[in-house]
Amino acid sequence: MAKRDQENEPGSSASEADSPFGAPVTIALSDSIDLHPFQPRDIPSVVEEYLEQCMRSGFTEVRLIHGKGKGVQRNIVRSLLSKHPAVRSFREAPVEAGGWGSTIVVLKR
């Protein structure tokens, strides 16, 4: 289906038309998530959903891999974590787990 046809289709949005996927992508849940594949605008919702699913699955500690770079992504992630009701604490990951390119999050039970 051409992009033009998708835009005119009921229930279709511009973001769906721009997506290379026909449906949401399901990722196997583990104690870490690499945020590199996600668009920066999607990071807050991805982190929110990830933390919610981890809580439901009984995880008490997880690692968010945001990368080192200039620290923009890290600041976005940590700002979200500082306000999130499910987060007990968070800290820089040890060197062997990514150092300042990852954040360890301790979740409330």
Q: Is 46 buried (19+), middle (13-18) or exposed (0-12) by CB count in 10 A? A: middle
Q: What is the pLDDT of residues 19-39, one digit of tens each?
A: 666 777 677 899 999 999 888
How much of the chain is helix, strand and coil, in % rounded to 5?
45, 20, 40
Q: What is the pLDDT of residues 70-87, one digit of tens each?
A: 888 999 999 999 999 999
Nearest-angstrom CA–CA distance, 43 and 66: 9
Q: What pLDDT sits at residue 10? A: 43
Tally the C-alpha atoms within 13 A of residue 45's C-alpha that lie toward its C-beta. 5
Could you tell me the pLDDT band of residue 98, with boundaries at 50, 70 and 90? very high
